[in-house]
Structure 1
Amino acid sequence: MKQITVLFLLIVQSAIAQNSLFNQVEAKNIGPTIMSGRVVDLAVNPKNPTEFYVAYATGGLWYTNNNGTSFSPVMDSAETVNCGSVTVDWNSGTIWVGTGEVNASRSSYAGVGVLKSSDKGKTWENLGLKDSHHISRIWVNPSNLNEIVVAAVGHLYTTNKERGIYKSNDGGKSWKQTLFVAEDAGIIDLAVSKNNPQIMFAASWQKDRKAWHFDGDGEKSGIYKSEDGGTSWKLVTTKESGFPANEGVGRIGLAMFNENVIYAVLDNQNMRPKAASKNKLTVMLSSPGADIMEISSKELNNALKASGFRDKYRAENIKNWIADNHMEPKEVLNFLSDSNKALFETEVIGCEVYKSEDGGKSWKKTNQNYIDDMFYTYGYYFANISVDENNQDRVYIGGVPLLFSEDGGKTFTVISKENVHADHHVTWVNPENPNHIINGNDGGVNISYDNGAHWIKCNNEAVSQFYAVNVDYQENYNVYGGMQDNGVWFGPNNYSHNVAWHQEGKYPYQELMGGDGMQTQIDSRNPNVVFTGYQFGNYYRINRKEGKFDYITPKAPKGEKPYRFNWQTPILLSSHNQDILYMGSEFLHRSMNQGETWDRISGDLTNGAKEGNVAFGTISTISESKFQFGLLYAGSDDGKIHVSKDGGASWQLISNNLPQNLWVSRVVASSHKKERVYAALNGYRNDIFESYAFVSEDFGTTWTSISNGLTEAVNVIVEDSANENILYVGTDNGLFISLDKGESWQDFSNGMPKVAVHDAVIQAKAKELIVGTHGRSLYKMDISKVQELTKAVLAKNLHLFKVNDRTKSDRWGTQNYAWGKPSEPLQTIWFYSNDDGIVNISITNEAGMIVHAQKVDAKKGLNSFEFDYSMTKDIVANWNKKDKKIKLKAADNQKFYLPVGKYDIMISKEKILEKKSFEIVNPKK
């Protein structure tokens, strides 16, 4: 049934795209590129390792044949760009992609099964297994491409049966499930012997992820072996095998040297013996407060990670509690230990490496000591291992750092360097040159030719994973955005990708801060003053001009528990007064002095704390009406929406009539009508992918669904700044637009692949929409003509939009250099047509003579054509003949350009005619 639903949604999506009025409104990518995004897999041509494919978690598949100097996207025509794995047959060029990332992070998006391309990515075919959601490995028999084995992890947040090992002997037309472990345990890795492909090993992984907690281990995790090419399987990590076999077994990664020798890297969540465990956080918090403030944030963060708080608190949270003697370190220790008693008693074992030399019958741990500071408590994100094909003692494992062993895993050294991002997910070792390795991590692709002594960074493409985006209001405005694991950056809105910065020495985008970048607010009076931060409410007021960073996160009154902050903590500068700042924990906080001091202006606006290792029961979105100061809305991650009409003195719950217990991804007070408010709910964390978008015309007392026609989980709703009928919606699979307040929707993603859109904002002065995607960086769209699509315009058969005047230049048609291109004037002329058909274009001068004529094959909706102000020789000869006062001469490029004067442009279709005037004027002296 679920597969039928997925198929139906894809059909609806296709119909929406085909019927869109906006197929000529193109999204332009404006970067950034340098920080890249999360790589999940590589496929390298062993005969020519300068040719390879890179699979990004949410950015699609990219191809290079020049050793990473440049890449081309090859998956943009597919129904998703969410990747889990990639396999290539280099002889035929056939590509298989297992869709849906398997790293189980908070933004590991589901896929649509197995995709295949027989033409190097031009077209894609879906081979099924759509309800598997996340596919970790695909093996294709190089001697018989019809024999395929797939490892499926299954759903991320819920249990399901379509997980395990699947085999096809007919190229994917049909599948047989040959290994099923349990509805909560899928297959996270698959290794196949190159010498004898009948021998395979598969790693099962039991996990339970919820929005508030992640349990990434269980007794159903283990290693299975097949001796018949994946047709049948047997568990080899029994209690007698030497490999852990209990409830603490987490994610497992596999690497085969040959059919007898196999390595496994394990996220071992069992506890260390107390004698071998010394909780670093306990030691730190036993020091005086002043001493703790002197501990580096990196060191304190490492201790927090080791104690299981990576998904709840950061060093700055702890220091904020202790600052000014607000909490004694002992109080902090008691609070944290109550939250995670097990890890305060002892530490988890963490990363371990095991080796079998008898085909999996027995296993021995290779590492002599604990591999500290590798997995911490989130090994679920890693567990990848590689082995040199020619030397079984050379082993690589990826975690927070990248480690290398040349003694079979007994000891390890760090080989990731200063230009290599942390969080490593895949490492390829050249079988012909073991010092040549390619590594994929949270910050893109790195290549080394000396086994990690030096690295090349190959981040040339826009694949960043944005959480949030904003703009300032300077003349040439900047865009700002926070990214997954890559901080907060800002840069020019007119950025166009090129590598000139290598020569100039300065990248156009600049970093504001590190961490997982979150929301940004910019003071409209002074764009140097920026409010931003990273995960769990760690926010700063930054004065870029003065280089000042002031930590502004509110802290709970003395004696109360610390506040709960969402991973993406919402902040908002009041449009009524830019000194007033709002911020959400479980309460709504207001500062009247840009974060210097705070007042709590609400009670708990959530369902309360929910025990787990992820912060939950928090405010996720806030909005203030532009019509009234203090008309406030707040939505929570556990499904509640509240309104206050009196600046927080009182609050009313307004979400009882909406679907319950879903993440409130957005609440938006209308800028066109005081009583109107929009809301979006998101079921992603429940494996519910339906669209939930609503509008209320009475402050949320009653709601009307506006999601009819949408097919994906909604992340953001943006109301147009000029036209109240227009709405923009960003979903987990693209951008959509409504011209009728949400009654119907159309695709609005021309120029973008089907990527998750996390945020969007309008720069009202420039009439441009900035779109923040979680996988393909930022896009900019000119919405000036879209905003003019009023009911009156849409009722017309044909409409010509205003044509801009142009200043004449003597440089038209000239070249700066002999090898340069001529300077040519161009204007994009827009019109609307209510149906398909040929539209005639003509331009006349003041004497009524036609100086330009052409035909345009128009489609229903917005249409455009480029006009370069040039005329044919025949028209010029006729003009010179009729008007003796003018002598038109050819420019350097032998083109004739319109002279200074007034012109009319007319478009016609059948008996319908539209006319506009424009002028070419002399330059101002």
Structure 2
Amino acid sequence: MSRRSLTLAAVVGLMAATAGAAAVHPDAEPARAERRPVAQIRQEPGDAMLVQRMAGDSVVDAHSYERARDRFRQLRTDNAGRAETAGVTWRSEGPTGIGGRLKDIASDGKGTLWVAAASGGVWRSGDGGKTFQRSWPDSFPQAIGALTRGPDGVLWAGTGETSPGGGSTTYAGTGLYRSADGGKTWKQSGLTDSHRIAEILVDPKNARRMYVAASGDLFAPGGQRGVYRSENGGRSWRKVLAGATPTAGPADLAIDPKQPRTLYATFWDHQRRPDLRQYAGPGSRAYKSTDGGTTWRELGGGLPAAGPDTGRLAITVAPSDPNRLYLLRVHRLGNFDGLWTSADAGATWTRLPDDPLLRSSQSSYGWWFGKLWVSPGDPSDLWVAGVPLIRSRDGGRTFGYGAADVHADQHAMLWENGTPGTIYLGNDGGFYRTDDDGATWVKAVSEPYTQYYTLDVGEQDPSRMVGGAQDNGCSRSYGSAEGWHVFGCGDGLETLINPVDQNRVYYCSQYGNCSRSADGGNTGRNFTGATTSTRRNWKAPLEFDPNDPSIMYYGGNILNRSADGGVTWTPISPDLTEGEGPDPQYSFGTLTTVAVAKSDPKRIYIGADDGTVAVTRDGGAGWTKINAGLPDRWVTRLRVDPSDADVVYVTLSGFRSGSDAAHVFRSTDGGSTWKNISGTLPNAPVNDIVQVGRTLYVANDVGVFVSPLGGSHWLPLPGLPETPVMELRVHRPGGRLYAASFGRGMYSTRIPVR
């Protein structure tokens, strides 16, 4: 999501704003069978990573990602010992204190904790949540959706995240994993084609009996989706509950801790395509089983009937009174649609009052949360996940804030066994702990699982780094005794440090909302309003002229130029895109990348989300489209050879089903013709490309690759966790290559610089 850590006062203001906007939210979807023209579907927070990987009726094929990862591993094995990569050692550059989205929490009841990072694997804390260390192999899928610890001490992790947003929508998991040694080693334990796992339950009285909510493929109906049960500790699985429609999968599971053969499940009918965001449907329903999952009945007795407007459902059981249940329903538009309670184990239900704070907490993104919790000692102490964490002490009749001064967007809570008042919280900002029943919360000081879109490195001082992170703002490595810290932005997108004056810093939030600072980011002034465009990309491009960093370029659907470091701006192009009309490319008609030739500052290349590539040879007076011969895909990056303005590289997105089109092209004649140089690269989106002499480096969704001769033979650089790498920077004075990973922070390695 797109909101930074919020104080209580800020949350109040945000809730008022989002509540007022909910009824006309631009992402409102029609009923399940309807579709709208692409132009009417605006990007949700985090959608940018998804929409650039889809086209027309083609959607993300989860198996394409697996094939790309397998190809990366094979290349790594085949090229082990090569001189070009043998000495590569990646160094973590942090941050450790920013954090990132957590989806679940497990505990041993004695102060050792494990957390599930949305795209960063599993992490362990031995000090009650103050610091976290990696507890998951770098070579495993890093997207984790669920985590639990059984009564026998076995840890279970479910890969793939059910909440469809925040950048990790693209990345499906590979099933369930098991660890019998506290997370030191893990083994695959089935459900390999489940794509996304929302919940794992272990019978508290029989560790061999388990239940898994397999949400299934977001992009295609059917498949391995439903509630699955194992009676033999995960060695085999049987589906015990399927959805009422092929696109309905379980989003929540609950168990009666006193009678663990009584179970509750909610199913969520949802699917995503380029021209469809179906987040509701008749398959969204709630169920109960009293025989350990063998048979189920649909819950009614006062609950609204299933229908096309029913979205995500959350359900929970009060541990101290298992007859007391709560159920929350989200409307198809994403906003709150009712809270119900039952005092008789689900036989009958009563709708609770629509508390204004409860309604506004869900905003227009209720499908993003989908969790309720009840305090172990008080069945009337209800907590609800939303933008803020909210709490009711009277059984859901009235609500107040449950946590002030924590990050927005809540996903996980856990009470420490036997420790009254100790609660753990996981949200988009990471891990928090309270020891006074929610009066005060303390954030972890070391949690290295931040999802970065961008980074930059100070040319004068490489210890000065900045980066833009998913829902964790723009952060910097300097200016505080505590090291890395957030200094601006909502979602952090483009971040730049002036190469000749490191105090001049530029930083952008979503949709090109950009600021400039003359004191390293301590203070800043927004300049978006000084630019000219009618549409702006989620990650609007902002670039320096490599010949003179006081000259800058900013792209919406029109390219803007500044000659005074971003103070004033002048449009230097018409609309360079194909416009915002219905388009099978699922684009928004915005520029995505800008590249200026170092050898000829009047030569400027642009790329757009609709596949457009264009060039001006006279500083913007005239433009020529040069995308003939290129795949019709989202353009992710353009780079120009520093010594030859006619040599230009273009990278493109991918993962579209049924398509193995290349992702890296080179032109030696200024874009008149293009040559595919993807060669041995895995078929995955390429997010960035940099050039050092004749050597090329690319970052894609499975790692970083090098082509020593600048051609089509690519070697993987080993040693990084298998997360998407979104951006690269070369620090020539220090001879290092820097990489921004989406889920594991930033890394650097030494490279030869000529």
How high is the TM-score relative to the length of structure 2?
0.83
* The one of 137, 143, 161 aligned to 2:223: 161
- Determine the C-alpha separation between the residues in 2 that align with 1:388 and 1:144: 23
Q: Counterpart of 1:291?
A: none
Cα gap change, 1:358 to 1:658, in 2 (>3 Å): farther
* The one of 65, 69, 72 aligned to 1:13: 72
Cα gap change, 1:83 to 1:708, in 2 (>3 Å): farther
Indicate conservation of the 8 Å contact 2:464/2:476, yes or no: yes
Q: Which has the higher contact order (CA 8 A, sep 6+)?
A: 2
Residue 538 (str. 1) matches residue 516 (str. 2): no
Cα gap change, 1:672 to 1:55, in 2 (>3 Å): farther
Secondary structure of the residue that 2:339 maps to in structure 1? strand
What residue identity is the alignment partner of 1:132?
S
Cα gap change, 1:477 to 1:426, in 2 (>3 Å): closer
Indicate conservation of the 8 Å contact 1:438/1:447, yes or no: yes
Q: Counterpart of 2:177?
A: 115
Secondary structure of the residue that 1:578 maps to in structure 2? strand
Residue 669 (str. 1) matches residue 653 (str. 2): no
- Determine the C-alpha separation between the residues in 1 that align with 2:178 and 2:68: 20
Q: Deviations over 1:258-284 (max 9, x none)?
A: 6543222222357xxxxxxxxxxxxxx
Q: Counterpart of 1:907?
A: none
* The one of 100, 114, 119 aligned to 1:53: 114
**1:177, distance to aligned residue in structure 2 (A):** 3.6
Indicate conservation of the 8 Å contact 1:567/1:615, yes or no: no
Q: Tell me how many residue pairs correspond in the alignment.
A: 683
Q: Counterpart of 2:593?
A: 621
**1:610, distance to aligned residue in structure 2 (A):** 5.1
Q: Counterpart of 1:369?
A: 355
**1:742, distance to aligned residue in structure 2 (A):** 4.6
Residue 576 (str. 1) matches residue 547 (str. 2): yes
RMSD over equivalenced CA pairs, Å: 3.1
* The one of 177, 194, 206 aligned to 2:257: 194
- Determine the C-alpha separation between the residues in 1 that align with 2:659 and 2:269: 21
What residue identity is the alignment partner of 1:17?
R
Indicate conservation of the 8 Å contact 1:552/1:596, yes or no: yes
Residue 416 (str. 1) matches residue 403 (str. 2): yes
Secondary structure of the residue that 2:487 maps to in structure 1? strand
Cα gap change, 1:2 to 1:625, in 2 (>3 Å): closer
Q: Counterpart of 2:154?
A: 94
Q: Deviations over 1:716-748 (max 9, x none)?
A: 233232x31x22222223222232435233331
Q: Counterpart of 1:745?
A: 714
- Determine the C-alpha separation between the residues in 2 that align with 1:34 and 1:133: 30
Indicate conservation of the 8 Å contact 1:730/1:758, yes or no: yes
Indicate conservation of the 8 Å contact 1:164/1:181, yes or no: no
Q: Counterpart of 1:697?
A: 668
Q: Counterpart of 1:400?
A: 387
What residue identity is the alignment partner of 1:746?
L
**1:639, distance to aligned residue in structure 2 (A):** 2.8
Cα gap change, 1:164 to 1:627, in 2 (>3 Å): farther
Cα gap change, 1:692 to 1:169, in 2 (>3 Å): farther
**1:68, distance to aligned residue in structure 2 (A):** 1.4
- Gap regions ≥5 residues in structure 2: 1-59
What residue identity is the alignment partner of 1:777?
G
Cα gap change, 1:9 to 1:167, in 2 (>3 Å): farther
Q: Counterpart of 1:631?
A: 603
**1:393, distance to aligned residue in structure 2 (A):** 0.9
Q: Counterpart of 2:452?
A: 466
* The one of 523, 529, 535 aligned to 1:564: 535
- Determine the C-alpha separation between the residues in 2 that align with 1:182 and 1:672: 58
Q: Counterpart of 2:467?
A: 481
Q: Deviations over 1:688-735 (max 9, x none)?
A: 8987233333333333333344336334233232x31x2222222322
Indicate conservation of the 8 Å contact 1:416/1:452, yes or no: yes
Cα gap change, 1:437 to 1:684, in 2 (>3 Å): farther
Cα gap change, 1:712 to 1:36, in 2 (>3 Å): farther
Q: Counterpart of 2:214?
A: 152
- Determine the C-alpha separation between the residues in 1 that align with 2:156 and 2:683: 24
What residue identity is the alignment partner of 2:622?
S
- Determine the C-alpha separation between the residues in 1 that align with 2:249 and 2:123: 27
- Determine the C-alpha separation between the residues in 2 that align with 1:687 and 1:138: 33
Cα gap change, 1:555 to 1:176, in 2 (>3 Å): farther
Q: Deviations over 1:79-100 (max 9, x none)?
A: 2111111122252x43221111
Cα gap change, 1:678 to 1:117, in 2 (>3 Å): farther
Secondary structure of the residue that 1:373 maps to in structure 2? helix
Cα gap change, 1:548 to 1:175, in 2 (>3 Å): closer
* The one of 657, 662, 669 aligned to 2:629: 657
Q: Counterpart of 1:716?
A: 687
Indicate conservation of the 8 Å contact 2:149/2:156, yes or no: yes
Q: Deviations over 1:148-197 (max 9, x none)?
A: 43212233455453322233445545544441343433221111222333
Residue 601 (str. 1) matches residue 587 (str. 2): no
Indicate conservation of the 8 Å contact 1:199/1:259, yes or no: no
**1:525, distance to aligned residue in structure 2 (A):** 3.0
**1:248, distance to aligned residue in structure 2 (A):** 2.6
Q: Counterpart of 2:127?
A: 66
- Determine the C-alpha separation between the residues in 1 that align with 2:162 and 2:596: 38
Secondary structure of the residue that 1:30 maps to in structure 2? strand
Residue 736 (str. 1) matches residue 699 (str. 2): no
What residue identity is the alignment partner of 1:245?
A
Residue 353 (str. 1) matches residue 414 (str. 2): no
The aligned runs of 1:190-229 (5 Å cut-off) are: 190-209=253-272, 214-229=277-292
- Determine the C-alpha separation between the residues in 2 that align with 1:755 and 1:441: 20
Q: Counterpart of 2:325?
A: 262
- Determine the C-alpha separation between the residues in 1 that align with 2:133 and 2:506: 36
Cα gap change, 1:210 to 1:602, in 2 (>3 Å): farther
Indicate conservation of the 8 Å contact 1:135/1:153, yes or no: yes
Secondary structure of the residue that 1:536 maps to in structure 2? helix
Residue 80 (str. 1) matches residue 55 (str. 2): no
**1:667, distance to aligned residue in structure 2 (A):** 2.1
**1:570, distance to aligned residue in structure 2 (A):** 0.8
Q: Deviations over 1:509-550 (max 9, x none)?
A: 354313111112332332212222211111112111796523
Residue 380 (str. 1) matches residue 380 (str. 2): no
**1:685, distance to aligned residue in structure 2 (A):** 8.2
Residue 249 (str. 1) matches residue 235 (str. 2): no
Secondary structure of the residue that 1:12 maps to in structure 2? helix
Cα gap change, 1:645 to 1:164, in 2 (>3 Å): farther
Indicate conservation of the 8 Å contact 1:693/1:714, yes or no: no
- Determine the C-alpha separation between the residues in 2 that align with 1:451 and 1:268: 31
What residue identity is the alignment partner of 2:375?
D
**1:389, distance to aligned residue in structure 2 (A):** 2.8
- Determine the C-alpha separation between the residues in 2 that align with 1:98 and 1:692: 31
- Determine the C-alpha separation between the residues in 2 that align with 1:112 and 1:211: 23
Indicate conservation of the 8 Å contact 1:621/1:666, yes or no: yes
Cα gap change, 1:363 to 1:671, in 2 (>3 Å): farther
Q: Counterpart of 1:514?
A: 489
- Gap regions ≥5 residues in structure 1: 271-347, 493-500, 789-925
Q: Percent identity?
A: 31
Q: Counterpart of 2:411?
A: 425
